Chains A and B, each alone.
Chain A
Amino acid sequence: MDAILQIIAIFAVISGAAFSILGLLGVIRMPDVYTRLHATGKVGVFGVVFLLIAAIVWLPAGRGKALMLILFLLLAGPVTAHALASAAYRTGIPFARPIRDDLEHLASAPLNDADTPSA
C-alpha cells in the first residue's frame, strides 16, 4: 500500500514540475501580456496543485490543510488573472497580433466608471 502511494506521489510531483517548466517556457515565449497570463495561470492551476496532491497522498498530517490550499488556489488564481488582464487593458497595453477584437468599439468610450475620478 505504501509503495502504491509513493508511486502516485512521485507521479504527481513529476507532473507538477513538468507543468511548471511549461508555464515558464510559455511566459518567455509568448509575445504580449495577455498571452503570457494564459501561461502563468497554468503554473498556479496545474503545477502547485499537483504538488499539493502529492502532499495529500504522502503527508497524512497535512491533508486538510493541503486540500484547503488547493481550494484557495483554484478560487484565487482566476481572480488574479482577471485583475491583471483588466489592469493591462485599462492602462492601454496593446494586443500582439490579434485576429479580431470585439472590445475595440468600447475602447473610445469610457469603460464603466474607471476613467472618471470617484469622489
Chain B
Amino acid sequence: MLSTLYLTLGIYVLLLILALWRVWRGENAIDRLIGVDLVTVLTLGILVILALIYRDSIFIDVALGLAALGFITTIALAKHIADEQMF
C-alpha cells in the first residue's frame, strides 16, 4: 500500500511539473488558464495522497478549501478575460 502511494505521489509531482510547463508556455490566455486549473486539480490529488499516506483526514480539509478557492479563481479569471470587466 505505502509503496503504491509513494509511486503515485511521484507520478503526480511529475504531472504537476508538466502542467506548470503548460502554464509557462501556453499559446494564449485561455490555454494558460486551463493550465492553472490543471495545477489546482493536481495539487488536490497530491493532498488526497498525503492524507492516505499519513492516514490523517486533516489534509482533506485543506483539499476542500483549495477546491473552493481554485473554482472561484478560474471562474473569475475566465469571466474577466471574456467580458474585460470583473463583475
Contact = CB atoms under 8 A, between A and B. Distances in A.
Direct contact between A and B in the complex (CB less than 8 angstroms)? yes
Interface of A: 6, 9-10, 13-14, 16-17, 20-21, 23-24, 27-28, 33, 36-37, 40, 43-44, 47-48, 51-52, 54-55, 58-59, 61-62, 65-66, 68-69, 72-73, 76, 79-80, 83-84, 86-88, 90-91, 93, 114, 118
Nearest to A10: B4
Contacts, number: 135
B57 to A, nearest CB: 3
Counting contact residues on chain B (CB < 8 A from A), the size range is 35 or more
Interface of B: 1, 4-5, 8, 11-12, 15, 18-19, 22, 27-31, 33-34, 37-38, 41-42, 44-45, 48-49, 51-52, 55, 57, 60-61, 63-64, 67-68, 71, 74-75, 78-79, 81-83, 85
Nearest to A20: B15
B83 A27 contact: no
Nearest to B67: A72
Which 10 pairs of residues, A with B, have the shortest CB-CB distance?
Answer: A62-B57, A87-B82, A83-B78, A87-B78, A61-B57, A88-B30, A51-B48, A90-B82, A76-B71, A62-B60
